[in-house]
Chain A
Amino acid sequence: MMNDASPDRDSKPRLAPGVRLGENNNQRVLLMPERALRLMGPSLEIIQRCDGKHTVAAIIANLQKIYSKARPEKVEEDILGYLQLLQKERALDFE
């Protein structure tokens, strides 16, 4: 999904080699080469589903249920934006 395209909904994102969840001082973080991202509620929910089994569409449907008070379009937009950011950081493989 180069050049600002959204990830393919049927692809299955998976954390790239050398990218993993970590914890420090009770704060969950995503560890990767030369970087660490702090994870809040929704970002952690997304990362936990980047396991090579959930499709992008499934992650969106899952989180729309969890965050049922938010507008579904907004949840979808946020997830796609976050996956795009992670790919730019080279933190994901799409299978």
Chain B
Amino acid sequence: MSAPTTPLALIAELTHRCPLHCVYCSNPQELQSRATELSTETWSRVFREAAELGVLQADFTGGEPLARTDILELVKAARAAGLYVNLITSGLPLDEPKLDALIAAGLDHLQLSFQGATEPIAAEISGTKSHQQKLRLLDWLKCRRVAVTLNFVIHRQNMHQLAEMLAMAESSSATRIEFAHVQYYGWAFANRENLLPTRAQLDTSLGFIQQAQKRLEGKIRIEYVVPDYYAKYPKPCMGGWGRKLILITPSGEVLPCHAAKIIPNLVFDNVKDRTLKEIWQSSEAFQAFRGQSWMQDPCKSCDRRELDYAGCRCQAFLLSGDPAATDPVCSLSPLRERVDAILAAVNAPASITSPVVEQLAAPVPDSLTQPIWLYRPNPS
């Protein structure tokens, strides 16, 4: 065990309710219902405890955080606690008066997610028609003083639209763009065969992004999140387990990351039972993969262990069955061949789509040549 560092950001999953049904949603497959959601008062206390712990930023996310009827009170409470307030939204349940009210309540930064550059692909990926509303919101934002980030989640089915996405962002008031490749957990893991880009797509996108970053320097900050299956070394997931970030689920469980609940036998504390400080400093789940004593070979003697912290624990579990294993995307992992086999299938000339997944609350695709998606439903 090692002494905890100071957390920098609190990811507040205010609700799992969402009007969108994105096929790569980062919410867990077992969604929490409205009845279990934390109260306004409990969230307000958590924001104060987070600020006392050293947290600087609160990321309001979901689901769709605007589905909370007390969203204005929550923004005010987080600002009153001294936090910088980010709202990560689909923009769907929003009109101009509500936007003004959010900004007046203290919203610092609005992150608007896009599922594509055009309505058809956005509708296919999210199982909802929301693209036109997002474009209206971009217009409303132009004359308002709030930071704007556009989040484009990219994957095999929409990567050909990068130039159109960039053009949308350039004609908006955004000062920041995220082109984030889907990461393969939860719903995205289930839909992986239809989402993983080809190597050719990835190479093209890298050149495109580098050029855009250079051209727009000082105007728009462009962040690019790579699909780590193609990487040589794993990502330092969440900046290291229990080092920088705290995630709280709608019902109050405190997690080191979005996906941690998939790891068997980890016990998560709840903010209803203990203070955030106690949980951060000593809860079993946060201590489990702090420091280096849990690491295995090749990580425990690797020079990169301070850089990537052995990669992602959830990905290690998903790909190897062992959450303490070296992240199998690492080229030094003894299990890297499993990832290579997945990539080989994606990059094989005959590779089209393999409809292998069960459909839940999904619209029926038009034709059998279309991918069959596992859509994320709304919690009961």
Contacts and interface: CB of A to CB of B under 8 A. Distances in A.
A2 B147 contact: no
A22 B84 contact: yes
Given A18-B146, A32-B147, A2 B56 contact: no
Contacts of B218: 1-2, 87-88, 90
B149 interface: yes
B84 A36 contact: yes
Given A22-B56, A90-B175, A33 B217 contact: no
Contact of B82 (A24, A36, A88): A24
Given A18-B109, A36-B8, A36-B56, A31 B84 contact: yes
Contacts of B246: none
A90 B221 contact: yes
Given A2-B218, A22-B82, A88-B218, A16 B175 contact: yes
Interface of A is mostly: loop
B144 to A, nearest CB: 8
Nearest to B107: A18
A47 to B, nearest CB: 15
B338 interface: no
B160 interface: no
B51 A24 contact: yes
Contacts of A23: 82
A85 to B, nearest CB: 11
B149 A90 contact: no
Interface string B104-138: 00001101000000000000000000000000000
A25 B351 CA distance: 55
Contacts of B148: 17-18
In the complex, which range does the number of interface residues on chain A fall in?
Answer: 20 to 34
Contact of B176 (A3, A25, A29, A33): A33
Interface string B217-234: 111110100000000000
A20 interface: yes
B82 A33 contact: no
A19 B148 CA distance: 11
A33 B147 contact: yes
A20 B54 CA distance: 17
Contacts of B223: 34
A77 interface: no
Nearest to A87: B218
Contacts of A22: 56, 82, 84
B199 interface: no
B217 A16 contact: no
A32 B84 CA distance: 8
A29 B54 contact: no
B109 A88 contact: no
Nearest to B86: A33
A90 B8 contact: no
Nearest to A25: B54
A23 B221 CA distance: 24
Contacts of A16: 147, 175
A34 B56 contact: no
Contacts of A90: 175-176, 218-221
Contacts of B315: none
A22 B176 CA distance: 21
A25 B8 CA distance: 13
B84 A89 contact: no
14 contacts: A2-B218, A2-B219, A3-B217, A16-B147, A17-B148, A17-B175, A18-B147, A22-B84, A24-B54, A24-B56, A25-B54, A33-B86, A33-B109, A36-B84
